[in-house]
Structure 1
Amino acid sequence: MNKAFVKESDNDDEDDGLGPEAVALPAGTKNYITTEGYRRLRAELAHLMNEERPEVVQVVSWAASNGDRSENGDYLYGKKRLREIDRRMRFLTKRLEVAEVVNPATQPNKDQVFFGATVEYCDKAGETFRVTIVGVDEAEPLQGRISWISPVARALLKAHEGDTVTLRTPGGVDELDILEISYPTD
Structure 2
Amino acid sequence: MVDKVPMTPSGFKKLQEELRMRQQEERPRIIEAISEARAHGDLSENAEYHAAKEAQSHNEGRITELEDLLARAEVIDLTKMSGDTVKFGATVKIVDEDTEEEKTYQIVGDQEADVKDGRISISSPISRALIGKSVGDSIEVNAPGGSKAYEILAINWG
What's 1:152 paired with? 126
What's 2:109 paired with? 135
1:107 aligns with 2:59: no
1:46-67 CA-partner distances (Å, limit 9, x unpaired) = 1000001101101111211221
What's 1:66 paired with? 40
Alpha-carbon RMSD across the aligned residues, in angstroms, is: 1.8
- Alpha-carbon offset, residue 29 of structure 1: 5.3
Find the residue that maps to 1:89 and give its secondary structure. Answer: helix
**Unmatched segments (≥5 aa) in structure 1:** 1-26
More helix per residue: 2
Distance in 1 (CA, whole Å) between partners of 2:2 and 2:132 is 20
What's 2:149 paired with? 175
Distance in 2 (CA, whole Å) between partners of 1:96 and 1:42 is 7
1:93 aligns with 2:67: yes
Distance in 1 (CA, whole Å) between partners of 2:20 and 2:122 is 26
- Alpha-carbon offset, residue 127 of structure 1: 1.4
Count of aligned residue pairs for this structure pair = 157
Distance in 1 (CA, whole Å) between partners of 2:3 and 2:139 is 23
- Alpha-carbon offset, residue 34 of structure 1: 0.6
Distance in 2 (CA, whole Å) between partners of 1:28 and 1:87 is 20
What's 2:92 paired with? 119
Structure 1 consecutive aligned stretches of length 4 or more whose deviation exceeds 2 Å: 27-30, 165-175
Between 82-91 and 156-165, the greater mean CA deviation after superposition? 156-165
Match of 2:20 among 26, 33, 46: 46
CA contact (8 A) 2:33 2:49 kept: yes
